[in-house]
Structure 1
Amino acid sequence: MATTTADIGQRTPGDVRMTSRQRLTLTLLLGSQFMIAVDFSILNVALPVVGEGLGFSLAHLPWIATAFALAAAGFTLLFGRIADLFGRKRIFIGGMVLLGLSSALGGLATTPEVLLTARVLQGLATAAVTPAGLALLTTAFREGPLRERALGLNGALMSAGFTTGAILGGLLTDLLSWRWAFFINVPVAAAVVALAPALLTDSRIVCKHRLDVPGAITVTGGLLALVYGLTRAGESGWTDPGALGTLLAGAVLLIAFWHVERRSAAPLVPVRIMRRRTVVWGNAAGLIAFATETSLVFLLTLYLQEVLGYSALATGLAFGVLGLGTVVGGALGGRVVGRYGNVSTILAGGVIQAVATLSLVALGTSGGWLYLLLAATFVGGVGNMLLIVGFMVTATSGLPDSLQGLATGLATMTQQVGITLGIPVMSAVAAGRTGAETGPSPILSGVTAAVLVNSLLVLVGSALATGALRSPGRLRLRRGWPRSSPRP
């Protein structure tokens, strides 16, 4: 019997117990993904201190984060496909080795150039480890309750990692030195590298095709240009000629990539994959989820520090409640998908997140409004994680194991582009409302305007994705579709 894409995840519960080996594998992979997520944000609150220590000018300080984001987003899709072709276990372990070495280099840096080199290498390591680790995770568990639970826990820990990074960065910087934001990765990476060969099953795909070099060049160049353009627009404004030119170049390269893939005998991303409704609309939901929640953290950071006068460390601690909400949402996500279906989970998560975010429009200039912020970010974190779990299950379901690296590479790329996209967009909305005025009241006005847009965006985006996934069409998935089938 055929089922529509909306039915993925609605299955009869079977044996949902993990073996001891699966538990150990899950712990190892979740630990590595958590560490990667921490790296995204661990330096954010320490940027001024890093700048003073190494002589960064204020204008160049954002490049400490941008250098990481460029490499991580630009090379994720490429490394995801390389992992499919040459071995996910091999790419995963190699990426962890690079992460450990680049973290040691960053901790020992004495000049801005060395630090930026370390951040680029950390980004490349992230681009290798994240899709390879997710592909190892999805192939270690069959489609069904176990995979949904694993993806839910993975999403929860990754989101919690962003929050933990902010808290940990503040603590390490205050108590020890900003250098420990790098050094802390070294023993963790070493432990993962030591345990991975024995615990992970090599899921190498034997493939006679060569790597699609033209596709790799166009998609990597396009993503690098897109992320750089978005970052520059956030710094210099959306009318900056350099930002607009780079964004245009990125669009041209990505269009060229599409045409290259249509004619390639061994495409990096088969065009038929990008025509799957689950892939397209699942990733669209993921883009909305990451763009809105990460930009909301940026907006609330402005509120806490510029309106309420909180320190960087106190701001990081306040976001611990958001982290707790994402952990709860991740723990519930797999069960909600199993009971109600992945598409219903996307809609429910989007509605919960949108309503919680909308309540933040009521924030005021007194400290008493902190309680509303804490409650709303907790509930919104639960909803955001339900949306993310629904996205991950949708974007990776119904595909054979040979394409899981590609599917998780696309999902990871979606995550990183969403993180990069959200902040400059919401910053532009807030700045447009604030104008040239300064002080708590104008900043609050800009923040609440952006919060309203954020809420509407997640509500409309999740509703559109849900409608597209539920609409009838020629795309159908069958239960029991052979995993070895060459059809994606």
Structure 2
Amino acid sequence: MALDTTTSSSTGPRGRDRAPRGRARPPARAGLVLFILCAAQFMVALDFSVLNVALPALGPDLGLSTSALQWAVTAFALPSGGFLLLFGRMGDLYGRRRLFLAGLALFGAASLLATLAQDPASFLAGRALQGLGAAAIVPTGMSLLTTTFPEGPARDRALSVSGTLLSLGFTVGMVAGGVLTDVLGWRSTMGLLALFALIVLPLAPGLLPESRTPERPRLDVPGAVTVTAGLLSLIYALSTAADRGFGGADVIVTLVAGVLLLTVFAAVESRTPQPLVSLPMLRRRTVAWGNLGGLVTFSMMSTVIFVLTLYLQEVLGLSAFETGLVFGAQGLLSAFAGPYAAKVIGRFGAPRTLAGSLAGQGALTAALLLLNAHMWSVWLAVAAVSLAGVCHLGAIVSYGLTVTSGVPDEEQGLATGLVTSTQQVGVTVGIPLLGVLATTSGDLLSGVRTVLALDAAVVLVAAVAAGLGLRAGRTAGAARAASGTVETESFGAR
């Protein structure tokens, strides 16, 4: 497959990115570009889970109290989610390759700082800097992928590989975290991330093409400040609520502040001539319904993993390592199924695949309601969560394609920033909104079943809503095409 960063099937000359001089990259180079981008995405996905099982060993070594351990996760989540939209837009304006490399270098240095930390302050600083690096890597890496591979089978295959590694990275992190902590200690989990960055960073400059919009509009500073502060407040509130509930004053204040700031952001964007976020883009059916599907699949699957972890260890008495193996089966099956995701999307289209994948995830989550206190339930958990993971993978790939298809290249950083922001917020909100029901219930097994029932219902409703919403857009688009209308739609599916 040839790579030509100046070509987009959906835009004319105005929508083209600035490409490197010379001829289109040969197929071998295309594979290397995909490897670099996916390796970086896998590294960030690994970071979401690799430290979780190491927290009990990390706390006593660094002097972090049990109540303070949540900051090992929150310190990463705040900047990684809060700065995604800003960095995605900065990549559009000032160069995606440049910002990607800067984020990769920062992530590697921060991982080394966390590895060598001797006190809580330096460790948490390393985690925060890791999150800042991830906020630059994820949207710029995704937009480099979507602008490098043109719409059609090439992009479908590339996003299928990326989605597979994203799903696999989270699962591998859970298994690898337990093994590394038992064998080499908790510092090896951070050292693994530093090693990944050290391998990828030297290869990236010579392989990745520079890519940015030809125009150089001014950065929307008021929009950047309000959306970043709003996301930081919202993620802090939800991350803290996952540990302490919604009753704390800091949770209530930051939750309200986050909602108000995001409301102000929307008002600012409606009046700014060069907005950070294009409101007409948000009104596109593919963007709106695609991101809804992404939000639901990430939030509800993270909740399933959380409550199943509690169930397997607290009800069935499995060890942390044995629990990791249950989710390891999910990762292996997802890796096997990953190459087929592009074929399914090619056959049915991304919108139908998204709705169908959500329906499958919801139905398999409902099957987990049969879990009980007998050990045979382990096999039900393995089968249901593994198959649900395959549907989850299909939803990841298809929602990314749904959101980014038809978006001009100069706005790909914004579109992929929305995709990855949805991912981060989804991972953050699921557990505090539903997961806490399992831990506050008098009987853990009963609480787990309640959460799984609500989880399945949310996913199934989202599947129907997204399917109908995207179908309505396709019908409207077909009617306009049949009548000869040539206007650009603002809230129709492409």
Does the alignment reach a TM-score above 0.5? yes
Q: Which residue of 2 aligns with 1:408?
A: 416
Residues 1:460 and 2:443 aligned together: no
Where in structure 2 are the equivalents of 1:162-311 lying within 5 Å? 162-311=170-319
Q: Which residue of 2 aligns with 1:341?
A: 349
Provide the C-alpha distance between the structure 2 equivalents of 1:76 and 1:462, rounded to a whole number of angstroms.
26
Residues 1:87 and 2:95 aligned together: yes
Amino acid of the residue matched to residue 108 of structure 2?
Answer: G
Q: CA deviation at 1:241?
A: 3.4
Aligned partners of 1:301 and 1:315 also within 8 Å: yes
Identity %: 45
Q: Which residue of 1 aligns with 2:395?
A: 387
Aligned partners of 1:43 and 1:169 also within 8 Å: yes
SS at match of 1:293: helix
Provide the C-alpha distance between the structure 1 equivalents of 2:223 and 2:333, rounded to a whole number of angstroms.
39
Aligned partners of 1:154 and 1:330 also within 8 Å: no
* Aligned partner of 2:61 among 53, 57, 79: 53
* Aligned partner of 1:126 among 131, 134, 137: 134
Provide the C-alpha distance between the structure 2 equivalents of 1:217 and 1:316, rounded to a whole number of angstroms.
40
Provide the C-alpha distance between the structure 2 equivalents of 1:206 and 1:190, rounded to a whole number of angstroms.
32
Provide the C-alpha distance between the structure 2 equivalents of 1:179 and 1:206, rounded to a whole number of angstroms.
44
Q: CA deviation at 1:462?
A: 1.8
State the TM-score, normalized to the length of structure 2.
0.90
Q: CA deviation at 1:472?
A: 4.4
Q: CA deviation at 1:473?
A: 8.1
Q: CA deviation at 1:429?
A: 2.7
Aligned partners of 1:329 and 1:384 also within 8 Å: no
Provide the C-alpha distance between the structure 2 equivalents of 1:170 and 1:451, rounded to a whole number of angstroms.
25
Q: Which residue of 2 aligns with 1:14?
A: none
Provide the C-alpha distance between the structure 1 equivalents of 2:111 and 2:431, rounded to a whole number of angstroms.
26
Residues 1:443 and 2:439 aligned together: no
SS at match of 2:67: coil
Q: CA deviation at 1:474?
A: 9.8
Amino acid of the residue matched to residue 164 of structure 1?
Answer: V
Aligned partners of 2:289 and 2:466 also within 8 Å: yes
SS at match of 1:461: helix
Q: Which residue of 1 aligns with 2:149?
A: 141
Q: Which residue of 2 aligns with 1:5?
A: none
Provide the C-alpha distance between the structure 1 equivalents of 2:438 and 2:232, rounded to a whole number of angstroms.
26
Residues 1:155 and 2:156 aligned together: no
Q: Which residue of 2 aligns with 1:3?
A: none
* CA pair 86-66 structure 1, distance change in 2 beyond 3 A: same
Q: CA deviation at 1:453?
A: 0.8
**Structure 1, gaps ≥5 residues long:** 1-7, 10-17, 480-484
* CA pair 186-236 structure 1, distance change in 2 beyond 3 A: closer
Which moved further from structure 2: 58-67 or 327-336?
A: 327-336
CA RMSD of aligned residues (A): 2.1
**Structure 2, gaps ≥5 residues long:** 1-8, 11-25, 482-487
Q: CA deviation at 1:160?
A: 0.7
Q: Which residue of 2 aligns with 1:107?
A: 115
Aligned partners of 2:285 and 2:473 also within 8 Å: no
Provide the C-alpha distance between the structure 1 equivalents of 2:349 and 2:313, rounded to a whole number of angstroms.
40
Q: CA deviation at 1:400?
A: 1.1
Amino acid of the residue matched to residue 447 of structure 2?
Answer: G
